[in-house]
Structure 1
């Protein structure tokens, strides 16, 4: 039985992935600062809406939305146009507002159903540390809560991409943490990225 895949729209990556990521998968994009993780997540949402008619949500915890849109525009992505057409929804969620566990993401799940969202990108995984603070010292319960969240996205027919930062860039020395084991795919960005010039970083993809 053929595996249903969705294209990322990122030049060269879909070829590496043999047609794209598995539909409804959870994807972790990880790398050192400056490797283009945020840009890749933006591309995933932008090209999904523009080229494949898949509405998307992009959530950032630390980045300024105006700066993100300007960087995207420099790379040929007009985020504002797709926002106006209701194809992309951009949210900046300060960490001070992240509390309440699944109750606080009910609005997100409602929006997914209402707007027929097919792709969600989260920058970054620190989102979960603030969303479930009382479970931070209980690894198993923390993992369970995150898995519940991701299962709800999958049940809604969403392909989910999350960004995570790493201090090292040598894949052979890559150390996995707890969050790495809730993903279906791991995409590691290895090389620094000059975002203003639109230079692509190299990519390594690990899949089960």
Structure 2
């Protein structure tokens, strides 16, 4: 039986058939504001508080204080305590961008991976990570290398990526083909705000629900509702689209 890492996010583990396959690398994509970073924070926090699994949070965009404030703003009030107790290891932009050289950064991360026992990792964001590389060939080489390193060190990882297009099939990048799974976060405007959705498009070695499901972001993070939305990535919204 394939071992899985539970996200602890209500509704999502059910869609995934229990969780994410251990040591998999999963791409989390969406437009700005869709909840990608919240999903990453929640995955790391739930690991430490619910499953006794330590997590590493890499951020090329925020400093450690910003990350802590974001976590506390969604109800993870003991985030700083978990960091102080080494249940969560933070590498923020000041650490990761110190040398402006990927090889130096990778060497430092390798040392951390090998010297500590962590099970989960979030990279926020892959978009900034890719700025290290000058061309597609170099990017592909290092993405494969980095993914292999994560797997070799027993890390089940989420790589967060900004998506320019509203709909996923319009913005498929190289990273989609180099990861074990793809999860898209989608939001559509309504008269009263936005509707939010999650789509698990691909998971290798797993039987998954490939419908699009509504989700909410509230105190405690993301909740996924296990009733498929009347929504098609190819055709836009249907007559049964929620919020109509």
TM-score (norm 2): 0.73
Match of 1:104 in 2: 105
Please give the root-mean-square deviation of Cα atoms over the aligned residues, in Å. Answer: 2.3
Change (3 A) 1:98 1:120: farther
Of Structure 1 and Structure 2, which has the larger fraction of its residues in strand? 2
Give yes or no for contact 1:102–1:149 (8 Å, CA) kept in 2. Answer: no
Q: CA deviation at 1:184?
A: 0.7
Correspondent of 2:200 among 190, 193, 205: 205
Change (3 A) 1:96 1:72: closer
Match of 1:166 in 2: 163
Match of 1:154 in 2: 151
Q: CA deviation at 1:192?
A: 6.6
Is 1:56 aligned with 2:51?
A: no
**CA displacement, residues 129-165 of structure 1 (integer Å, 9 cap, x when unaligned):** 243x3xx22x233201220111011111111111111
Unpaired runs of at least 5, structure 1? 194-198
**CA displacement, residues 164-198 of structure 1 (integer Å, 9 cap, x when unaligned):** 11123334x432111221111111001279xxxxx
2:44 and 2:50 map into 1 onto residues whose CA distance is 10
Within a 5 Å distance, the mapping from 1:68-83 to structure 2 comes to 68-77=67-76, 78-83=78-83
2:119 and 2:69 map into 1 onto residues whose CA distance is 24
Is 1:190 aligned with 2:186?
A: yes
2:195 and 2:86 map into 1 onto residues whose CA distance is 28
Q: CA deviation at 1:81?
A: 1.6
Is 1:15 aligned with 2:20?
A: no
1:166 and 1:141 map into 2 onto residues whose CA distance is 21
**CA displacement, residues 32-88 of structure 1 (integer Å, 9 cap, x when unaligned):** 110000010111111111111111111111124323322322322121121121100
State the secondary structure of the residue aligned to 1:63. coil
Aligned length: 197
Change (3 A) 1:200 1:60: farther
